[in-house]
Amino acid sequence: MRSLIKLSTLLLMAVTTLSYAASENSEFTTKEEFINGLKPKPKIKLRGIKLNGQENQAPAAPPSISMRVNFAFDSYALTEEIKAKLNPLGEALMSEQLINYSFEIAGHTDAVGHEDYNNALSGKRAVNVGQYLYDNFGVDPARLQLAGYGEEQLLDPSKPNSGENRRVEITTMVAAQQ
State pLDDT tens for residues 94-128. Answer: 999 999 999 999 999 999 999 999 999 999 999 99
Q: What count of Cα atoms within 13 Å lies in the side-chain half-sphere of residue 13?
A: 14
> What is the rounded average pLDDT of the residues 128-132?
97
Under a CB-based contact definition with an 8 Å cutoff, are residues 93 and 137 in contact? yes
Question: What gap in Å lies between CA 109 and CA 119, rounded to an integer?
Answer: 8
Question: Per residue in 156-178, pLDDT tens?
Answer: 999 999 988 999 999 888 665 54
What are the sequence ranges of the domains in the chain? 2-175
Q: Which residues contact 22 (CB under 8 A, 6 or more apart)?
A: none
Q: Which residues contact 90 (CB under 8 A, 6 or more apart)?
A: 132, 133, 136, 137, 139
pLDDT over 70, % of the chain: 70
pTM value > 0.75: no
Instruction: Provide CATH code, domain 2-175.
Output: 3.30.1330.60
What end-to-end distance do the CA atoms of the chain give, in Å? Answer: 45
Question: Per residue in 25-67, pLDDT tens?
Answer: 457 889 999 888 888 876 666 556 665 665 555 556 667 777 7
